[in-house]
């Protein structure tokens, strides 16, 4: 299944009591699709997944999928540091109507490469849906190495992609060279989307698309279609926004950006906190510079 080139990692809207605002989540999902997203990732890092209960996650999967229907794929974030829990949530998510699942490299317990191989294989074998692996060494101490990705892509038919946030272009190039043509490599960072696509990556799982969806789509498809100068111009225009959206822990800045853009989605659950005045000012400046 082709999940598209521009996927947006959705924030999770909360109400004033920090309960999940499912109605606002539906509205946000439809907004992101209207702004150019090919697909949506629900309950990933940007969705504050560590603070959501299993019941909340499963309802979010259902609500978002119902909101967008068959128009775009919905990817459910089902991974954590425990393989058994990841497998259980993946099985449950598979019954909510979602189109794929995404599982992060287990964090905190720091497994070796063989442990990562067995972890992702167990998750993938618990579902018939396509699986995206998520490599983010800055949040998990272990890097998912290119050789392990290639082994999983070869051995497990429904492991369809990897979301790469290692910031290592050589590793990305190795993955592209050692996996089937049908295997997709997504950038996990907006600022690396264009570089990763230049070495054979397929697209991006974006945060910036919350507030710059049309420009992100234009850049990604310009890169995919070989219009490199156009893609580079858009990338340069968006760089201040990419930087501002990561001046502190994601998704703090992007929730501030959505509020500034006139689409508030509520606060954040502890241990995350709302943006400071200085951080919000930096986000506001970047928005004005890049997308106004």
Q: What is the pLDDT of residue 128?
A: 98
Whether residue 241 lies inside any domain: the answer is: no
Mean pLDDT of 198-219: 98
Q: What's the confidence (pLDDT) of residue 291?
A: 82
Confidence of residue 272 (pLDDT cuts 50, 70, 90): very high
- Has residue 288 been placed in a domain? no
Average pLDDT, integer, range 108-112: 94
Domain interval for residue 215: 6-227
The length of the chain is 292
Catalytic residue among 22, 62, 117, 134: 134
- What pLDDT score was predicted for residue 45? 95
- Per the structure, how many domains does the chain have? 1
Q: Is 134 a catalytic residue?
A: yes
Reply yes or no on whether the pLDDT at 168 is more than 90: yes
Residue 71 confidence (pLDDT) above 90: no
User: Of all residues in the chain, what percent carry a pLDDT higher than 90?
Assistant: 97
pLDDT > 90? residue 38: yes
Give the domain CATH number at 144: 3.20.20.70
pLDDT value at position 191?
A: 97
Catalytic residue among 163, 186, 255, 259: 163
125 pLDDT higher than 90: yes
Rounded mean pLDDT of 95-113? Answer: 96
Q: Is residue 167 part of a domain?
A: yes
In this structure, is residue 254 part of a structural domain? no
The answer on pLDDT for 221 being more than 80 is yes
pTM equals 0.97
Q: Does residue 243 form part of some domain?
A: no
- Residues 104-129 have a mean pLDDT of 97
Q: What is the mean pLDDT of residues 117-130?
A: 98
- Residue 292 — very low, low, confident or very high, per pLDDT cuts 50/70/90? confident
| Gyration radius of the chain over CA positions | 18
Average pLDDT over residues 216-231: 98
Flag whether 212 is in a domain. yes
Whole-number mean pLDDT of the chain? 97
Average pLDDT over residues 65-82: 96
The answer to whether residue 290 sits within a structural domain is no
Which residue, among 266, 259, 264, has the nearest Cα to 283 in the 3D structure? 259
Positive/negative CA dihedral, 196, 197, 200, 204:
positive
User: Is residue 217 situated within a structural domain?
Assistant: yes
Q: In this predicted model, what pLDDT tens digit does every residue of 8-25 receive, in sequence order? A: 999 999 999 999 999 999
SS3 sequence, the chain?
CCCCCEEEECCCCECCCCCECHHHHHHHHHHHHHCCCCEEEECCCCCCHHHCCHHHHHHHHHHHHHHHCCCCCEEEECCCCCHHHHHHHHHHHCCCCCCEEEEECCCCCCCCHHHHHHHHHHHHHCCCCCEEEEECCCCCCCCCCHHHHHHHHHHCCCEEEEEECCCCHHHHHHHHHHCCCCCEEEECCHHHHHHHHHCCCCEEEECCHHHHHHHHHHHHHHHHCCCHHHHHHHHHHHHHHHHHCCCCCCCHHHHHHHHHCCCCCCCCCCCCCCCCHHHHHHHHHHHHHHHC
């Amino acid at each position: 299944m082709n999940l598209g080139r521009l996927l947006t990692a959705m924030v999770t809207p909360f109400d004033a009591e920090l309960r999940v605002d499912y109605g606002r989540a539906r509205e946000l999902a439809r907004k992101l699709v209207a702004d150019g997203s090919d697909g949506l990732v629900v309950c990933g890092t940007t969705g504050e997944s560590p603070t959501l209960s299993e019941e909340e996650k499963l309802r979010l999967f259902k609500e978002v999928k119902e909101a967008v229907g068959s128009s775009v794929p919905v990817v459910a974030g089902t991974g954590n540091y425990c393989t058994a829990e990841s497998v259980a949530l993946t099985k449950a998510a598979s019954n909510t109507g979602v189109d794929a699942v995404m599982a992060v490299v287990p964090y905190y317990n720091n497994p070796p490469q063989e442990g990562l191989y067995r972890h992702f294989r167990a998750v993938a074998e618990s579902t018939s849906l396509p699986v995206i692996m998520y490599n983010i060494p800055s949040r998990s101490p272990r890097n998912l190495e290119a050789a392990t990705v290639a082994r999983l892509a070869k051995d497990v038919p429904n492991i369809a992609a990897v979301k790469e946030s290692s910031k290592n272009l050589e590793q990305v190039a190795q993955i592209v060279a050692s996996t089937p043509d049908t295997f997709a490599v997504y950038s996990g960072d907006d600022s690396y989307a264009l570089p990763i696509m230049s070495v054979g990556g397929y697209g991006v799982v974006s945060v910036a698309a919350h507030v710059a969806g049309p420009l992100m789509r234009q850049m990604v498809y310009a890169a995919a279609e070989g219009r490199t100068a156009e893609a580079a111009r858009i990338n340069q225009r968006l760089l201040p926004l990419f930087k501002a959206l990561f001046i502190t822990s994601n998704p703090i800045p992007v929730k501030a950006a959505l509020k500034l853009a006139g689409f508030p989605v509520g606060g954040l659950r502890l241990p995350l906190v709302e943006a400071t005045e200085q951080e919000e000012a930096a986000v506001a400046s970047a928005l004005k510079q890049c997308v106004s």
